[in-house]
Amino acid sequence: MKFIIQREEILKPLQAISGVVERRQTMPVLSNVLLSIDNGTMELSGTNLEVELKVVVAVDSPDCGDITLPSRKFLDICKALPDSAMIEVSIDENKAIIRSGRSRFTLATLPASEYPNMESIEGLIEFTIPQFQLKELIEKTQFSMAQQDVRYYLNGLMIEINSDHLLSVATDGHRLALCEIPCEIAIDEPRQIIIPRKGVTELSRLLDESERAVSVRIGKKQIRVTVGDFTFTSKLVDGLFPDYKRVVPQNCDKLATVDRAVIRQSLTRASILSNEKYRGIRLQLQEGLVKVNANNPDLEEAQEEFEVEYSGPPLEIGFNVSYVLDALNALTDSTVVLHFSDSNSSCLVTGNVEGNNCKYVVMPMRL
């Protein structure tokens, strides 16, 4: 088996697939990329058994066949070659010989028969959506996913599919992020799915800000998204996501409206002297003004003040400053609204534009 391809034609697909392929695998073949050639096209596949990514590229080859190559080494070779270089790959028994100009590399191969394949999708929900909307749905919420939580269903992003909109929710138990976008979907009743963290990360990388439509197929155990020549498949987390509606504060009677850039800058400065482990800050809210205090075990202290539209009673509340900053960074409105009930209840952070589709909940800290 032999094929010829230009460096730039294979570099981007290899980079995307190498993100899926794990370097340390219990099965050696999972560190490889699967190459399948047929009638002048080559399909590259990578998987870690949870997430799979495939891409089709055109190649100069009269042959048909399959082989697997070490993903990271093949990518590094292609990256190190000069721009517009032509790459010739020929397979000889259990070796792959890669030639380009005066360069020659020999890589060990493993048979394609050992490479696992994701099962077909059953129980389908299908719809199309512009890339930028799906990317927004993910990026506005994914930072609130848990990391290695024993509550495994929190280590992912929940997508709720409704007939007229899509909703994404992520929470780590200390904060919650929610984003909603309109979308017409042929579905009789709402359905919730949980995409694992690795799948969320790789899918976000695939998407861009264009209006080009992507195809989404959801089955009982998998989600498949087709983006141009790329086909992304991920297993779904088998678990029940918490009722997010109970977490979002509904009747906050104390509203503070503030310039987003001003509060971001003040909290960023104050966070420099916050406790490195707990990242706690204290907000003291009074009419027209917010005072921010942060300190650490070294008895160092930061104090900030900024103006705010607020006319309620004085309120003092503690937060993890990183969680508040993540919410402020995800919003794009010039002004934001902080919704409070009391010093022991969660704060709701929203944009100040009517119809804003994102909400962020931050639980208070005892300082």
The DSSP output letter for 54 is E
Superfamily of domain 125-246: DNA Polymerase III, subunit A, domain 2 (3.10.150.10)
Question: Given this model, what pLDDT does residue 114 score?
Answer: 93
Per-residue model confidence as pLDDT tens digits over 340-366:
999 999 999 999 877 679 999 999 998
Closest of 328, 313, 248 to residue 281, by C-alpha:
328
Phi, psi of 254 (to 5 degrees): -120, 110
CATH fold of 248-362, please?
DNA Polymerase III; Chain A, domain 2 (3.10.150)
Identify the architecture of domain 2-114 in CATH.
Roll (3.10)
Rounded alpha-carbon distances, angstroms, from residue 83 to 7, 11, 78, 90: 7, 11, 10, 21
Per-residue model confidence as pLDDT tens digits over 295-312:
999 999 999 999 999 999
Query: Can you give the residue ranges of every domain in the chain?
Result: 2-114, 125-246, 248-362
Per-residue model confidence as pLDDT tens digits over 39-94:
899 999 999 999 999 999 999 998 899 999 999 999 999 999 999 999 999 998 88
Q: How many CA atoms lie within 13 A of 79 on its CB side?
A: 11
Predicted TM-score of the model (pTM): 0.93
Closest of 262, 90, 237 to residue 151, by C-alpha:
237
Phi, psi of 278 (to 5 degrees): -95, -20
